[in-house]
Amino acid sequence: MIDGGRPISEVARELNVHENLLGKWVRAERIRDGVITEGRAAPPDGELSAGERAELVRLRAEAAEKDRDIAFLKKVSAYFAAQQHR
pLDDT digits (tens, 9 = 90+) for 29-76: 888 887 777 765 555 556 888 888 899 999 999 999 999 999 999 999
> Over 80: is that where the pLDDT of 1 sits?
no
Partners of residue 2 on adjacent β-strands: 6
Q: How far apart, in whole angstroms, are the C-alpha atoms of residue 61 and residue 67?
A: 10
> Region 4-29: what's the mean pLDDT?
87
Q: How far apart, in whole angstroms, are the C-alpha atoms of residue 48 and residue 86?
A: 55
Q: How far apart, in whole angstroms, are the C-alpha atoms of residue 27 and residue 21?
A: 10
Amino acid identity, position 12: A
Partners of residue 34 on adjacent β-strands: none
The confidence score (pLDDT) of residue 40 equals 58
Count of residues making up the chain: 86
Is residue 17 classed as helix, strand or coil in its secondary structure?
coil
> Over 70: is that where the pLDDT of 3 sits?
no
